Structure 1
Amino acid sequence: MRDLSVVGYVPGGFDMLHVGHLNILRAARERCDRLVVGVAVDESLVAMKGRPPVIPHAERMELVASLRFVDEVVPDLDRDKRVAWRARPFDVLFKGDDWAGTEKGDRLEREMAEVGARVVYLPYTASTSSTMLRQFLTAGVAAEPASA
């Protein structure tokens, strides 16, 4: 039995919750004793993506909190994950492997090393993303004939 438990952290927008979100959260939970999920606030998503989320922050928090493999849900306030670590310390930050070897992934690794946390990359689900769902919905709305 271990004296110390490993706290994992998964940051994300979790807009239009989908199987890719579930995959990364389940995989993260298998690698830690306690899983904390940081749900990006609306303002942060607008700053990062240039558009508001489809699902409001409070609802995204509630959806993620309802997942049995999530132990705690917190607001994620900033792109800089050292801010999240200061608010709720964790040992490991989990991200999709689409970040591995990129400029933003390298920056994330440096920032986490500064606070004594490490980054672990998990398989990214390429078949579904919030961006794909948004494009599908937008195309579907554009294709709808105007009602008289």
Structure 2
Amino acid sequence: RGTLDGSTEGITCIEFDPMILAASYNKSAMLWQLGDSVPKVTLTGHSRKVTAARFSSVLHQVVTGSGDGTIRLWDLQRAAVRPVNVAKYCSDLVCSENCIISGHYDCQIRAASCVQMLPAQGKVTSLDLSSDHLQLLSCCRDDCLQLFDLRRWSSERVSFR
């Protein structure tokens, strides 16, 4: 048990694999080694709150999404960052082997690196991938969960209310 220091504002997202990664209202994401209370790395560069932070499927890479309309790919070994403009408030994101999928308040689900888009029924609040990365589950502000088959990348979906 312990406390993780480093954020001066609220945490919006947290992930564990085997390090701890958190997104914050203070426009940054932080990375802690297990057992350390001080962040090993603080990732800054977004101009608004960071709403999502995920470990990439690529070793030593982290992906963050923000209310500033960008997704950032962070290479932790080279201390390099690559911004991707998604133009809209990013509420959540997930990483598959070949692309980053982001959910947005403009009722869209975008795949940044494969240039695909799926319409959602409402403002997208969260996303999750199946363990085989073939299905995407989205939660929207219309009180509906939607399940997409990513092998087809079409608007066909199963909805749960």
**If the length of structure 2 is used for normalisation, what is the TM-score?**
0.22
Structure having the higher helix fraction is 1
Larger radius of gyration: 1
Structure having the higher strand fraction is 2
Q: Which has the higher contact order (CA 8 A, sep 6+)?
A: 1
